[in-house]
A and B are shown apart, each in its own frame.
Chain A
């Protein structure tokens, strides 16, 4: 289905509903009433094959404005379903429940916690971003009237907070894990219920690391907000910064110079390669395969050094700027980096060959932590996790940005949805990344402009990128003064954490850390 067919379908199905096609951004905006919201979302998601990217809530002067973002394959583009309601009335229908879109579940819970908007029909609102043991009811930090300096400071989590128990079997018990667990791990809490060997129920409690990035960004200049975009989940800083810059550039109508676009692609792929090497290292580490762990760790460190030598920073900070790049990179240095990346990928290939004949390793990840294709689709999973479950949507291909449509690459995918499939996707994507880097290095001429002037003006736009962990969407509204009015970040880990418990349940305790590592989840990216 392409954009104009979609417009016709929508306007025929619901007389009075407007579908506006924005030629410049390629997005369709569907403004509808609350009464038909569920129906519109249901058909987009279940009949027309759109994925759910996220929910953006805005508090206007007199009304709520809710924006449900969907995205499809290339011709279908992106669809924003807009619905509004008076401020005093804070109730909207839950599309997670009523339109059966599980992917919207956590978005609705987050909006309820932070804005106080209620979603009719949603059974599990509360205790999500704001932990119940730390926040009193009725505090809505994302509302305009919320005073961050008010008396809430220094409140503490309740020291006697205890996990809930669901499984009521003889001998059942809860194994609480975290927020501090293991050697070097991000803070997150799991409750694993069991009667002995298998994890019967797994529950993930996140947001121990909530830094309120979306709130902190409000009122900041675009340059200051970029610092937050780069640094809230810095293992994939470049992808997030890129999505943010692209949103700002769309608002300002700025055209990024060709050289900057190629360099951005080059750096984004270098970041993906390094992050995938890190993810592979985590999988080897979780299975206690010491030599493979060391080999992958060496490759990760070498790629960090390549990034550091090329850009001055091991995590590529301080290069992106709205309109292009803050500094040019010498073509020769890029070609050197590309050769080193190619050599690293050759060694990754060798590592993969060895791993695929190590039966003790394969036993730990094959047919473990399975995500079915149906789940991947209904939870709108993203990145290597989705692609290992036959849901091969990649924004670089589906919604090209920064000139990705000029590069040749494949989007690897697997069918099984187990840990081994996810590992194979990581290796295959690393090969594609270096393939793109080779083309980018060739396409780089001898210098040229890398930054176009950006004059901030009022407006709003969506920016997106295929981050190493999957699709990331950054939505930015600038006010009259060119400062951030609202910033919404919809990250791949937020989408993928939602399904993690499904993979962990029914497997033995000792599989748990291995399943966790094959998901390559970032807590910082989820918690923001």
Chain B
């Protein structure tokens, strides 16, 4: 057994400095497209987006991050592409009457219940990564709990399939107040590529009040971490729409 202890100590500390300072390692985020001034090319580019995340007005393109599914069709295989920013602080307030963050008693200890409501596995896998040594969310006082009775935050992934609706509602009702709902991933926000169909609701907000939204398909662990920090009031919320950048990448 001692060899495991030695192996563990030899690995040293690999944990990110985030949220104290920014994480700059490569490959920690897929990034998101930035809106831009594309002039005559704008309309054609908007057409390429399969999930209608792009809007165009007078040659300027803006991006609705809640819809983006990272298909890269606005960035690859096209002459005038949108620039992508390698950000990850994506947690934004819910669309309809979100509650404030949980506040002081929860700032350094919040218990999270994770519910899969039709997820493809990627969002869930990114949530799991939060427990790996690179992110180690325990150091920030976030704990995963298997029971709704202990949960302060309900983290939902997936577009909410009909077969999961009752389970999801029962879980929410079983949680004590105060509680917050964090919807993670494009599917949980807008249904993603599954949209709203005869078997799924097209987003958690159709079933429960959502307080914090984390866009991305899937959002990287740091974005989910940011969403949780927003839920407990340790980080300000981001905007769910792109700012109009000065110019697109040539």
* A186 contacts B by Cβ under 8 Å: yes
Contact A186 B121 (CB under 8 A): yes
Contact A308 B27 (CB under 8 A): yes
* A201 contacts B by Cβ under 8 Å: no
* B238 contacts A by Cβ under 8 Å: no
* B166 contacts A by Cβ under 8 Å: yes
Task: Point out the residues of chain B lying under 8 angstroms from A216, CB to CB.
Answer: 194-195, 197
In whole Å, how far is B139's beta carbon from the nearest beta carbon of chain A? 14
Interface residues of B in 17-58 (CB under 8 A from A): 25-31, 50
Q: Which residue from chain A places its CB closest to the CB of B51 in the assembled complex?
A: A227
Interface of B is mostly: loop
In whole Å, how far is B101's beta carbon from the nearest beta carbon of chain A? 23
Contact B14 A300 (CB under 8 A): no
Q: CB < 8 Å: which of A148, A207, A525 contacts B163? A: A207
* A278 contacts B by Cβ under 8 Å: yes
* A335 contacts B by Cβ under 8 Å: no
Q: CB < 8 Å: which of A157, A186, A318, A321 contacts B116? A: A186
Contact B29 A294 (CB under 8 A): no
* A75 contacts B by Cβ under 8 Å: no
A 155-167 to B, binary, CB cutoff 8 A, 1 in contact else 0: 1110100000000
The complex places the Cα of A211 from the Cα of B187 at a distance, in Å, of 11
Contact A297 B197 (CB under 8 A): no
Q: CB < 8 Å: which of B124, B134, B163, B171 contacts A184? A: B124
Contact B197 A211 (CB under 8 A): yes
Using known A-B contacts A211-B159, A235-B125, A354-B7, determine if residue A305 contacts B25 with beta carbons closer than 8 Å.
yes
Q: CB < 8 Å: which of A131, A227, A300, A307 contacts B69? A: A227
Task: Point out the residues of chain A lying under 8 angstroms from B193, CB to CB.
Answer: 227-228, 231
* B204 contacts A by Cβ under 8 Å: no
Q: How many residues of B contact A (CB 8 A)?
A: 69
Task: Tell which of B72-80, B89-97, B242-250 binds the partner.
Answer: B72-80
Show the binding face of B for A, using Cβ within 8 Å: 1, 3-5, 7-8, 11, 14, 25-31, 50, 69-73, 76-77, 84, 114-122, 124-129, 131-135, 144-146, 158-159, 161-167, 170-171, 192-195, 197-200, 217-218, 220
4 additional contacts, CB 8 Å, given A211-B197, A308-B29, A318-B72? A291-B5, A294-B11, A314-B30, A314-B126
30 A-B residue pairs with Cβ-Cβ distance under 8 Å, sorted by A, are: A156-B165, A157-B166, A179-B167, A186-B124, A208-B161, A209-B161, A209-B163, A211-B118, A211-B161, A213-B194, A215-B198, A216-B194, A223-B50, A223-B73, A227-B50, A227-B71, A231-B69, A235-B122, A235-B125, A289-B4, A291-B8, A297-B131, A298-B14, A301-B129, A301-B132, A306-B27, A309-B27, A312-B30, A312-B72, A317-B72
